């Protein structure tokens, strides 16, 4: 009997950007950091060097370990040479996330579905990667802004664990936090790269949400829904 639904965030509950849009968004994010450091007279790196380092940092670890945003920004902007306090680093992270969070909005079926799950006695949790390994506390603030927090029994980001989906560690951590068994859970996500292998590795059934009708899946593959309105019926 399923009694717990684990959700991916971006592309599942909230819209931020499509994959092909990320290069432009990354430029906006880095520019926000540049402008902040310039305003504070702390920019010590030439524009050419900044963008060269951005290209070098724009990847995720092949073993799925998290590469924290703070460390990337320190390397890109040579902030370790400034001996600045931690609040400067967090402020640069906020600058980086500004254009991403500005785009975020819940899909129209998100809150009604979460309310429906609660009314039927289901537990719910978010299990999500973060953009460029950005800090979990910024994303928890974002959950409050979007009105998602009241419906969640747990919120787990890759930064909480040190591993990105599809690494099984993030799912094991969530199960322990919820004190739930894998067979009691279902995971709902939008990206086959991250949202199938990880849950399956710990025995959690996956449901893919295909809002744009672009996911190709075999007959024997995972259950697929077009929107969250279909989820309650599937459960």
Per residue in 70-128, pLDDT tens? 999 999 999 987 666 678 999 999 999 999 999 999 999 999 999 999 999 999 999 99
* Domain ranges within the chain, ordered by starting residue: 4-16+105-234, 19-101
Q: Return d(Cα 216, Cα 210) in angstroms, integer.
A: 9
Q: Return d(Cα 176, Cα 4) in angstroms, integer.
A: 13
Residue with tokens 């799950």: 117
What are the distances in angstroms from CA 101 to CA 5, 31, 185? 24, 15, 29
Q: Return d(Cα 215, Cα 107) in angstroms, integer.
A: 19
**β-pairing verdict for 14-15 and 105-106:** antiparallel
Q: Return d(Cα 113, Cα 106) in angstroms, integer.
A: 11
User: What pTM was estimated for this model as a whole?
Assistant: 0.93
Predicted pLDDT of residue 1: 84
Q: CATH code for 4-16+105-234? A: 3.40.50.1000
Predicted pLDDT of residue 82: 63
């Amino acid at each position: 009997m399923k009694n717990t639904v684990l959700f991916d965030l971006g592309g599942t509950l909230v819209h931020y950007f499509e994959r092909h849009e990320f290069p432009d968004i990354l430029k906006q994010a880095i520019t926000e950091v540049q402008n902040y450091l310039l305003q504070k007279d702390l920019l010590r790196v030439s524009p050419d060097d900044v963008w060269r380092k951005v290209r070098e940092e724009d990847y995720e670890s092949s073993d799925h370990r998290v590469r924290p945003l703070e460390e990337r920004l320190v390397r890109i902007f040579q902030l370790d040479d400034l001996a600045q306090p931690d609040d400067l680093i967090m402020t640069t992270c906020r600058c980086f996330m500004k254009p991403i969070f500005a785009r975020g909005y819940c899909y129209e079926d998100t809150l009604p579905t979460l309310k429906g799950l609660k009314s039927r006695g289901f537990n719910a949790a978010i299990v999500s990667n973060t953009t460029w390994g950005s800090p979990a506390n910024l994303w928890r603030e974002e959950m409050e802004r979007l009105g998602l927090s009241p419906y969640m029994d747990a919120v787990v980001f890759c930064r909480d664990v040190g591993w990105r989906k599809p690494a099984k560690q993030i799912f094991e951590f969530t199960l322990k936090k919820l004190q739930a068994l894998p067979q009691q859970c279902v995971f709902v996500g939008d990206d086959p790269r991250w949202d199938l292998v990880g849950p399956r590795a710990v025995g959690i059934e996956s449901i893919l949400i295909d809002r744009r009708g672009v996911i190709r899946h075999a007959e024997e593959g995972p259950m697929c829904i077009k929107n969250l309105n279909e989820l309650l019926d599937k459960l």
